[in-house]
Amino acid sequence: MKNMLRAMAITPFLALTVFSVAHAQSSTDLQAQLNALLAQLSALQSQLQTSSSSNTAPAATPGASGQCPTLSRALRQGMSGSDVTGLQAFLATDSSVYPEATVSGYFGALTQAAVQRFQARHLLVSSGTPDTTGYGAVGPATRAAIAGLCKSGSVPTTTSVPGGNCSQGGLTAVSGLTADFYSVTAAPLGSSCASNKTTRQCVNGNFSGNPAYQYGSCSDTANQCIVNSVTIANGVSQQFYSRSSVNTGDACSSYTQTRTCTNGVMTGASNFMYSSCIVDVPDSCSVGGIAVAHGSSRTFYTQDLATSTVSCSAYGQSRTCNDGVLSGSGEYSKPSCTAGACFTDGVTFQSGSTTTFYFAKNIPSGEQCSSYAQTRSCVSGTFTGNAAYKYTSCVPAAAGTCVTDSVVLTSGQAWLFYSTTTAAVGTTCGSVSQLRTCTNGTLGGTASFNRTSCSDTKLCPLAGVNVPHGDSYTFYNAQTVDFGSTCSSEAQTRTCSNGKFSGSDSYQYANCSVNPPLSGMGAAQLAAALTALQSILQSLLDKLDSWF
């Protein structure tokens, strides 16, 4: 059966060989015929391997050199037997082919690599796989080469490349065979060896195709990644952020993602590009030399002194700092305010201070301001001394002028003066006024009219009643009350002060009356009225008891 298969396989091979010799006329024809021969050779190897495979390997018979095996079946990785032992012993005679020299009887990866080196050395095949080209498997051609070497009695360590064969980039190939070449020895960033590979054929000593593909091997170097100028090694993971900074109160951890470099490509979302993230520190605020931290509040004032009649709070405003900007009005710029100050003549004086004041701002020519002066102290909002000394400055008038109540009149000038600053009840300021004229330093008219201003006292009109200045009147906050109640519980006495009433404005009625009992009152209403009457009677009885 085995001989029959061999005959069937070899017959078409010989026929094709004869046909090729007789009819090959051009290089193109020769190339086509050579490819056909290679296909026949591959088919022959498959048939022989199928027919000769067996679980029990035949014994190897030493050759003339003592290391030559007898190989009657195709051998490949994973097989074992004495023929594998003989193959390993034969290959081990050449350390450049089988440097490991392991003779175990098992066809492993080391044996396959040694077979590949042997095949390339002897120009059998130099690329592909055991299944596609027989590269690494011991088929008919490899067994024939081993047998030929054994017949000569030696294993040559080097073999020159015949003129029709090719050698480039560390690869050798028989004319007509193909080999894979690369344009680079290491794949660049974002690329791979496969994308830089082409297949070239050996034709009469020269490889066809693009000469730029000149390297027989290439390594796929894992590429690093670069994100926003940050270099990440292949396989390394790093935390990135979608923001380089966040506001106070926010957290960078809310904008983070872990990304991994995989051969030049980063996983994750591309907007996570920042390798670091910081929390912004907002600016503080500064007013009047006082620093206010972001988010903090402080009261500022429009003035730094407050009189006894007005507290500092009336001049204050709470202002809040927000990232360098202070809320509120800019007029509130003073960082502190001291209460208990005194105020006069448009000037505020701090409590505890002492100042010289004057009875008049302007005095007659030839007189001394010291004659009109008095030293007064501010004590918790109140000046000591005579309140008439209220001016902070004093200037003697020029010769020929008239001075009264701080008014300076030139000669010939007239001025309306008053005998009082407030008109009496029932009178007006017009009735207490007099026009006086200055003549060469002498003021005409009556000396008692020496006030430059006067205010009329005003009545207080309310609910048809005119109450004179200084008088009081009882008003009510209701015009009627229910039967059983009294108007006195709704009354308030209010005093008129120059046109303005004291007390509450809700007491606006001049009269009040008690409503009479309602006819047809219900039991509940009658009971309430009776209770009210009893209360009134009891009150009267208590008063009578106190009298007697």
Q: What is the pLDDT of residues 471-515, one digit of tens each?
A: 899 999 999 998 888 999 999 999 998 788 999 999 999 999 998
Q: Is residue 525 part of a domain?
A: yes
How would DSSP label each residue in 376-415?
EEEETTEE-S-TT--BS--EEPPTT-EEETTEEE-TT-EE
Query: Rounded to an integer, what distance in angstroms lies between the CA atom of residue 484 and that of residue 539?
Result: 13
Residues 58 and 153 in one domain: yes
Report CA dihedral (528, 534, 535, 536) to the nearest 10 degrees: 110
Mean pLDDT confidence for 431-438: 94
Report if residue 2 sits inside a domain. yes
Given a contact cutoff of 8 angstroms between Cβ atoms, the answer to whether 260 and 236 are in contact is yes
Q: Do both 40 and 58 map to the same domain?
A: no
What is the pLDDT, as a whole number, of residue 50?
40
At 395-417, the pLDDT tens digits run 998 888 999 887 999 999 999 99
Strands 256-262, 285-287: pairing kind: unpaired
pLDDT more than 70, % of the chain: 82
Tell me: do 112 and 130 sit in the same domain: yes
**Cβ neighbours of residue 406 closer than 8 Å, sequence gap 6 or more:** 360, 361, 362, 391, 452
Rg of the chain taking only CA atoms, in angstroms: 63
Q: Residue 301: name the closest of 310, 309, 139 by CA.
A: 310
Confidence of residue 58 (pLDDT cuts 50, 70, 90): very low
271 with 295, same domain: the answer is: no
pLDDT at 20 over 60: no
What residues does 173 pair with on adjacent strands? 166
Average pLDDT across the chain, whole number? 82
Looking at the structure, tell me whether residues 66 and 40 fall in a common domain: no
Answer whether residue 546 is part of any domain: no
pLDDT confidence tier of residue 434, bands split at 50, 70 and 90:
very high
Q: Which of 280, 277, 282, 270 is nearest to 243 (CA)?
A: 277
pLDDT at residue 189 tops 50:
yes
pLDDT band at 154 (very low <50, low <70, confident <90, very high): low
Helix (H) or strand (E) holding 535: helix 523-547
One domain, residues 75 and 112:
yes
Helix boundaries (H) for 447-493: none
Last residue of a domain, one of 237, 256, 279: 279
State mean pLDDT over 123-149: 93
The pLDDT value given to residue 514 = 92
- Which is higher by pLDDT, 169 or 35? 169
What local confidence, expressed as pLDDT, does residue 525 receive?
A: 66
Residue 411 included in any domain: no
Would the pLDDT of 325 be above 90? yes
CB 438 within 8 A of CB 471: no
Per-residue pLDDT at 178 exceeds 50: yes
The answer to the question of residue 374 being in a domain is no
- 43 phi and psi, to 5 degrees? -65, -40
Helix axes 82-91, 140-152, angle to 10 degrees: 60
pLDDT of residue 152: 67
* C-alpha to C-alpha distance for 359 and 374, rounded to whole angstroms: 8
Residue pair 319/326 in contact (Cβ under 8 Å)? The answer is yes
Q: Rounded CA gap, 142 and 414, in Å?
A: 145
Residue 60 to residue 90: CA distance in whole angstroms: 11
User: What's the pLDDT at 12?
Assistant: 42
pLDDT digits (tens, 9 = 90+) for 209-244: 898 999 999 887 667 889 999 999 888 999 999 999
Residues 100 and 79 in one domain: yes
Bridge partners of 534?
Answer: none
pLDDT recorded at residue 55: 38
C-beta separation of 77 from 114 below 8 A: no
User: Do 137 and 86 lie in a common domain?
Assistant: yes
Amino acid at the residue 20: S
How far apart, in Å, do the first and last CA atoms of the chain sit? 161
User: Where does 453-527 show beta strands of DSSP type E?
Assistant: 460-462, 465-467, 472-476, 480-481, 491-497, 500-501, 513-514
Q: Which of 330-339, 432-441, 503-512, 523-532 is predicted least confidently?
A: 523-532
CB-based contact 457:498 (threshold 8 Å): yes
Helix (H, G, I), strand (E, B) or coil at 492: strand
Q: Is the pLDDT of residue 130 over 90?
A: yes
- How confident is the model over 310-335, as a mean pLDDT? 89
**Is residue 548 very low, low, confident or very high in pLDDT (cuts 50, 70, 90)?**
low
Question: What pLDDT score was predicted for residue 521?
Answer: 55
For 93, half-sphere exposure in the C-beta direction (CA atoms, 13 angstrom radius) is 19
Looking up residue 112, the CATH number of its domain turns out to be 1.10.101.10
Q: Could you tell me the pTM of the whole model? A: 0.31
> Given pLDDT bands bounded at 50, 70 and 90, which one contains residue 30?
low
In this prediction, residue 110 has a pLDDT band, given cuts at 50, 70 and 90, of very high
Q: What is the pLDDT of residue 449?
A: 95
Last residue of a domain, one of 236, 256, 279: 279
**What's the rounded Cα separation, in Å, for the pair 422 and 419?**
9
CA distance linking residue 227 with residue 293, whole number of Å: 37
Residue 242 pLDDT? 95
From 340, 378, 338, select the one nearest 357 (Cα to Cα).
378
Instruction: With respect to residue 299, please indicate whether it lies within any of the assigned structural domains.
Output: yes
348's enclosing H/E stretch is: strand 347-349
Regarding whether 88 and 29 lie in a shared domain, the answer is no
Examine residue 375 and state whether it is found in any structural domain, yes or no: no
Q: Helix, strand, or coil here: 272?
A: coil
Q: Are 117 and 157 contacting, i.e. CB atoms less than 8 angstroms apart? A: no
Question: In Å, what is the CA distance from 424 to each residue of 345, 427, 498?
Answer: 27, 5, 11
* Whether 33 and 57 share a structural domain: no
Lowest mean pLDDT among 151-160, 189-198, 525-534: 151-160
Q: How many domains does the chain have?
A: 5
Per-position b or e across 336-347, b if 16+ CB within 10 A of its CB:
ebebbbbbbeee
Worst-scoring range by mean pLDDT, 180-184, 290-294, 469-473, 515-519? 515-519
Name, in order, each residue with C-beta under 8 angstroms of 531's C-beta and a sequence gap of 6 or more: 484
Q: Of residues 432 and 15, which shows the higher confidence score?
A: 432
What pLDDT is stored for residue 308 in this prediction?
A: 61
Q: Tell whether the model's pLDDT for residue 57 goes beyond 90.
A: no
Q: What is the per-residue pLDDT for 43?
A: 45
Same structural domain, 16 and 106: no
Task: Report d(CA 478, CA 463) in Å as an integer.
Answer: 12
Q: In terms of pLDDT, which residue wins out, 30 or 73?
A: 73
Per-residue confidence (pLDDT) for residue 519, from 0 to 100: 54
User: Where does a domain end: 47, 64, 84?
Assistant: 47
Measured between alpha carbons, how far is 528 from 155 in angstroms, rounded to an integer? 140
For 299-319, the pLDDT digits (tens) are: 999 888 876 667 788 888 999
Report the pLDDT value the prediction gives residue 399, as an integer from 0 to 100.
87
479 and 501 part of one domain: yes
Q: Which of helix, strand or coil describes residue 219?
A: strand
The residue range of the domain holding 72 is 53-157
Q: Does the residue 301 lie in any domain?
A: yes
